[in-house]
């Protein structure tokens, strides 16, 4: 019984699942991660990792493994996509690390996942099974039994807790018949170009590569920043678009993006044509108001709980925060899982909701046109950088509970 109360099953080996496994194992739990895919391929593109997430990665011994592949940008710079004029500059670099106690980094998702996997592989209390999907779960008065499907062969695993870290189209969330994901009406276009490629050199003539640059335009915004230790540049454009079903990404014709970029500076339009392959990512959201827990022993983390649009660059960061808070709550109330999970949900939902609102605000301002864009630019011109920095203390200065 004692051993069972320490056993946790995690569904999904993405950023949220791997971080949750590490955070729980650090607190004495024995964790078995089941990942549906047979191999963890290089899925995704760049991620901005703000100090609220990197301080957790540091505590879990992951940050040092990530650093060689990550870049610490000097600033976030907002530019008008039509004129390329700089509208404001939000300082990061050493100043951000000193203010918020951890670095603001940019990295490829695959490099973060590799760093997490390296740490997981060294942990004696974590087992990772690939090609094993969690298909079903029975909730008992104390604990759960998960059904694991390996190419049609189903086995069971009992534990005190099942963590659904299985992404935006979560099976675990679906078992509770709550909170379906919905298409946001937006498509993200992503590509990573080598700094030394033609497209990489074309970008360097438009903007410096030691910062995160956001180009703003009513029909598109384009974010660019270095990844892979500075050897590559991550480009993400967001436009309106049509739903594509439950697919993460698909290679697409850059001419469609070129159409959405009409009115942007010719240098940017040419860059979009030269950079390839572009993949499109339909942006799906999961309303965070549905239950994230079942008192008997299920908790959702990451996109499974609250997939959000990426306009605050916080989706993965919120999954990392979820992991730290869930582990804290479960360890603090080892003999009362229902109360621990209620604490977790109560702690996380208001913060995630605030982040979602911030993302919507960013989208509104970046896509503004006419008089609203004029007012935005005026306000940005007279707002001191120190005030912009202070306005994000609540987000970047957040610290996960210790112990």
Ligand X SMILES: Cc1cc2nc3c(=O)[nH]c(=O)nc-3n(C[C@H](O)[C@H](O)[C@H](O)COP(=O)(O)OP(=O)(O)OC[C@H]3O[C@@H](n4cnc5c(N)ncnc54)[C@H](O)[C@@H]3O)c2cc1C
Using CB under 6 A, list all residues that contact ligand X.
11-17, 34-37, 44, 47-48, 133-134, 165-167, 171, 188, 190, 236, 281, 302-303, 310, 313-317, 319
Tell the burial category of 191 from Cβ atoms under 10 Å away from its Cβ (0-12, 13-18, 19+). buried
By C-beta, is 200 or 315 nearer to ligand X? Answer: 315
Mark out the alpha helices in 73-227 (DSSP H runs): 93-100, 109-122, 171-175, 198-206
Core vs surface per residue 391-402: b (16+ CB within 10 A) or e: ebeebbbbebee
By C-beta, is 184 or 365 nearer to ligand X? Answer: 184
By C-beta, is 65 or 318 nearer to ligand X? Answer: 318
By C-beta, is 37 or 383 nearer to ligand X? Answer: 37
By C-beta, is 59 or 334 nearer to ligand X? Answer: 59
By C-beta, is 247 or 379 nearer to ligand X? Answer: 247
Least distance in Å: CB of 82 to ligand X? 23
Core vs surface per residue 51-62: b (16+ CB within 10 A) or e: bbbbbbbbbbeb
Least distance in Å: CB of 7 to ligand X? 17
Least distance in Å: CB of 119 to ligand X? 15
Contacts made by residues 92-101, CB under 8 angstroms, sequence distance 24+:
92/211, 92/212, 95/389, 96/51, 96/396, 97/51, 97/72, 99/389, 99/393, 99/396, 99/397, 100/50, 100/51, 100/52, 100/55, 100/393, 100/396, 100/397, 101/51, 101/55, 101/397, 101/399
Least distance in Å: CB of 16 to ligand X? 3
Least distance in Å: CB of 20 to ligand X? 9
DSSP 79: E
């Amino acid at each position: 019984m004692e051993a069972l109360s320490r056993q946790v099953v995690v569904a999904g080996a993405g950023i949220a699942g791997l971080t949750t496994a590490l955070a729980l194992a650090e607190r004495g739990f024995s964790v078995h991660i089941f990942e549906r895919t047979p191999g963890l391929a290089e899925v995704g593109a760049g991620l901005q990792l703000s100090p609220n997430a990197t301080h957790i990665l540091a505590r879990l011994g992951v940050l040092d493994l990530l650093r060689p592949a990550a870049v610490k940008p000097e600033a976030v710079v907002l530019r008008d996509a039509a004129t390329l004029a700089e509208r404001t500059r939000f300082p990061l670099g050493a100043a951000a690390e000193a203010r918020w106690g951890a670095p603001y980094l940019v990295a490829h998702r695959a490099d973060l996942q590799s760093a997490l996997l390296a740490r997981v592989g060294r942990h004696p209390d974590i087992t990772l099974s690939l090609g094993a999907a969690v298909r079903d779960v029975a909730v008992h008065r104390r604990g759960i039994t998960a059904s694991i499907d390996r190419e049609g062969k189903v086995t069971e695993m009992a534990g005190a807790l099942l963590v659904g870290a299985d992404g935006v189209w979560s099976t675990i969330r679906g078992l509770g018949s709550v909170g379906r994901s919905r298409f946001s009406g937006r498509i993200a276009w992503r590509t990573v170009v080598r700094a030394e490629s033609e497209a990489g050199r074309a970008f360097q003539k438009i903007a410096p590569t030691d910062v995160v640059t956001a180009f703003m335009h009513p029909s598109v915004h384009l974010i660019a920043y270095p990844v892979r230790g500075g050897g590559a540049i991550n480009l993400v454009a967001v436009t309106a678009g049509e739903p594509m079903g439950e697919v993460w990404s698909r290679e697409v014709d850059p001419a469609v993006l070129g159409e959405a970029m009409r009115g942007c500076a010719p240098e940017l339009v040419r860059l979009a044509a030269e950079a390839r392959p572009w993949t499109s990512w339909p942006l799906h959201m999961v309303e965070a108001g549905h239950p994230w827990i079942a008192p008997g022993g299920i908790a959702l983390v990451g996109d499974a709980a609250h997939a959000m649009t990426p306009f605050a660059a916080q989706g993965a960061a919120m999954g990392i925060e979820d992991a730290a808070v869930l582990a804290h709550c479960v360890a603090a109330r080892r003999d009362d899982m229902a109360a621990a999970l209620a604490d977790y949900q109560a702690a996380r939902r208001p913060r995630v909701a605030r982040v979602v609102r911030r993302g919507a605000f960013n989208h509104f301002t970046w896509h503004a046109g006419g008089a609203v864009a004029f007012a935005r630019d005026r306000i940005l011109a007279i707002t001191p950088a120190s005030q912009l920095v202070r306005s994000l203390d609540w987000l970047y200065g957040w610290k996960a509970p210790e112990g």
